[in-house]
Structure 1
Amino acid sequence: MGAKHMRLMLEAGLLLLFAVLFLLMAALAVKAQQPDAQPQGAKAQQQPAMEDEIIVRGRRNEPDFQEEWEHHRKEFDRLSKIYGDPFTPNRRSDRMTDTPNPDKGKSVMRSPSSDTVQGRPSRD
């Protein structure tokens, strides 16, 4: 019964807290809607009502597709002159990774005096 009683007290306390906060917010809203108690002369001297401000932003100086493509093309040509054509293969790496072929230059034709083919087992 103790835990149930404590839970009931906690819920009642939270409900009371929310009710008080709601009343305070309602009081603030009512106070904000009340007109100020200023004399008529003071209201006339106030600034005129401010109109909504319209912000106009001009077009940024951004390149269109054609200008951007031309710029990239010029940059590509400039870098190609410095570093060479990127589409040609790197022959140095090909030479470094190439393994020599021991059968290069050997003939696979049958020898006229033999029944075997070079590099293949005999038929026997």
Structure 2
Amino acid sequence: MLAQPDFQGVEGRKAEPKFSPLEGRFERTMDATQLAREVVLGSFDLYMAGMSRKTNDAVQILTIVTVGLGVVSAVAGAMGTNFNLGFFKSGTPGFILMLLGMTVLVALTLLIARRRHLI
């Protein structure tokens, strides 16, 4: 029908039987195109939601690692200060005690994060 040079405006009511099926096909095509567009947009929204969740999980883990390293850095910084206390002159046992303290603080940080369902 598209190959014929018929126009409803020119031919009036004579062309209506030819244009009615064409109009129906056009409407169905537009509906199918709109449906396909909505499916693609919905799929993209699902993909973005999944990526957002993965990014959020990664940021939570990085935050926990940062807190753990911050605790260790604070303890190491305090141990590196120049005070004349007996604890700082304890040698190897004091060093091992400091490492155990750091490990306990990091474990505590992880335990708190676990209880709050961050990891």
Report the TM-score when normalising by structure 1: 0.32
Q: State the structure with bigger RCO (CA 8 A, min sep 6), 1 or 2.
A: 2
Q: Rg bigger for which structure?
A: 1
In terms of fraction of residues, the more helix-rich structure is: 2
Report the TM-score when normalising by structure 2: 0.33
